[in-house]
Structure 1
């Protein structure tokens, strides 16, 4: 007979995922053990298995939910029907905000998603390509000079994403520059250049 879920099941599950993300970001998925995770959660291995079947499932949930959240929020911006420039600014701010708040999840995505099984990699990869398409399409709406060709469109999008996705290595959300301010710096430099008049 299946075990019943406690009323705080969703909160405990979320706590495990957040703790696991920090642990995997610090130690690496391959190095961290389920015992390490149980200790970090102040729990037991058995208790963890009540919420997840394996360490691999935990990794899949961390990466999958992080990417799904990003895609959902970016698609919601598209539904606002903003003017092209404000649309791109909103997209850039949202990506930076999610990455700043979920630093550990972003590290795990970039470093460990290749540890997932092939079907899940393919599923998450499809969502990542949709995120790139959102950015590419936002840039295309502003491209009145037609710099973006079919050959270069994804390159432009990935260049912009690279300025946002790798900030975990140095950006401090509690520092003098807020995530929104940094996002605006990236937006302005990307669109107008550092030495604009």
Structure 2
């Protein structure tokens, strides 16, 4: 007979994922033991296995939830905007803001994805490709000079994601530049550079300063 779920099953399930995320990110997935995780969750090993069948299953759940949340956030951000430029800016903001809230998850997906089974890795990578394709399609639509062609499309897209994915190593969202402003800086730098004419957001900022 199957065990019935407790009323607080979902809360405990989320709590395990949160504790595991912190432990794996700070100590390293391979070095973190089930015993240490049970201690961090204030659960017995037996209780822990009631929620997840293995340490690997916990890692997969963390990464899967993070990437699915990013897809949902980007889709919602794009849906609320009419122009391609506004959609692109909103999508980058959504990614930056999620990563700012989830820097531990970002560390895990960059450093520990390879510890999952091949099947689970492919699941995560397929989800990641959906995000990359959404951003890549917007870049193609924004390209007015024909720079983004089949040969260069992936390069331009991954140049942008290189900035976004590794910002957790140095960017402090609690510093003087908030996530939304940082996202706009990334967009402006990527689309307009720093040696060309002022970008639309630069002009708007200057107008606000003069007002």
- 1:7-18 alignment runs, 5 A limit: 7-18=7-18
Q: Which runs of 4 or more aligned residues in structure 1 lie more than 4 Å from their structure 2 counterparts after TM superposition? A: none
Match of 1:57 in 2: 57
Match of 2:200 in 1: none
Match of 2:149 in 1: 149
Structure 1's unaligned 5+ residue stretches are none
Q: Distance in 2 between matches of 1:93 and 1:140?
A: 19
Q: Distance in 2 between matches of 1:173 and 1:162?
A: 18
Does the aligned pair in 2 maintain the 1:114–1:121 contact within 8 Å?
A: yes
Does the aligned pair in 1 maintain the 2:91–2:135 contact within 8 Å?
A: yes
Summarize deviations over 1:117-174 as a string: whole Å, max 9, x none. 0111111111111111111001111112111010111111111111111111111222
Does the aligned pair in 2 maintain the 1:132–1:154 contact within 8 Å?
A: no
Match of 1:40 in 2: 40
Structure 2's unaligned 5+ residue stretches are 198-211
Q: CA deviation at 1:113?
A: 0.5
How does the TM-score come out when normalised to structure 1?
Answer: 0.95
Task: Pick 1 or 2: higher relative contact order, CA cutoff 8 A, min separation 6.
Answer: 1
Question: Which has the greater radius of gyration?
Answer: 2
Q: CA deviation at 1:81?
A: 5.1
How does the TM-score come out when normalised to structure 2?
Answer: 0.89
Provide the aligned C-alpha RMSD in A: 1.2
